Amino acid sequence: MTSTTITPAPERAEHTGFTAPLPPAAAAALAHAEETLADMLASSYASTAQTYRGLSESTDWMAPGEFDRLADVQDELAMRRTRLADAGRLDLIEGAA
C-alpha cells in the first residue's frame, strides 16, 4: 500500500510584471472613460438628491409607500456617494444633497 500526500494549490498566485504599460492612446481613452463615468454618476446623484428633497418636503404625513420610496432614495444616494468616494471624486458633488 502506498501513501499519497496531497498538496493544496496556492490560494493566489503572485504575477507581477507580466503586463505591459498601456499605450498613451489607450491610457488617454481610459482616463476619458473614467471621467465620463464619474460625471454621469455625479449627475445621477444630483437628480436623486432632487428627488429626495421633493419627497421629504412634500407633506408632513406620508403614506407607507411614500415612506418606502423615501428610504429607497436615501439608499440610492448613499450608494452613489460611496461609488464617488471610491473613485476619489467627491469633489463632483460637494454642496449637493
Domain assignment present for residue 26? The answer is: no
Q: Give me the number of domains the chain comprises.
A: 1
Distance of alpha carbon 18 from alpha carbon 10, whole angstroms: 19
Q: Which amino acid, residue 30?
A: L
Distance of alpha carbon 72 from alpha carbon 38, whole angstroms: 22
pTM for this model (two decimals): 0.66
Domain assignment present for residue 3? The answer is: no
The pLDDT of residue 64 is: 83
Domain assignment present for residue 82? The answer is: yes
Domain assignment present for residue 51? The answer is: yes
Domain assignment present for residue 76? The answer is: yes
The pLDDT of residue 12 is: 66
Distance of alpha carbon 77 from alpha carbon 49, whole angstroms: 7
12 or 68: which carries more pLDDT confidence? 68
What are 25's three cell numbers? Answer: 492612446
Domain assignment present for residue 62? The answer is: yes
For residue range 20-51, list pLDDT tens digits in order.
888 999 999 999 999 999 999 999 999 999 99
Supply the range of the domain harboring residue 68. 38-92
Domain assignment present for residue 60? The answer is: yes
Say if residues 76 and 50 touch (Cβ distance below 8 Å).
no
For residue range 45-71, list pLDDT tens digits in order.
999 999 999 888 866 777 888 889 989
Domain assignment present for residue 7? The answer is: no
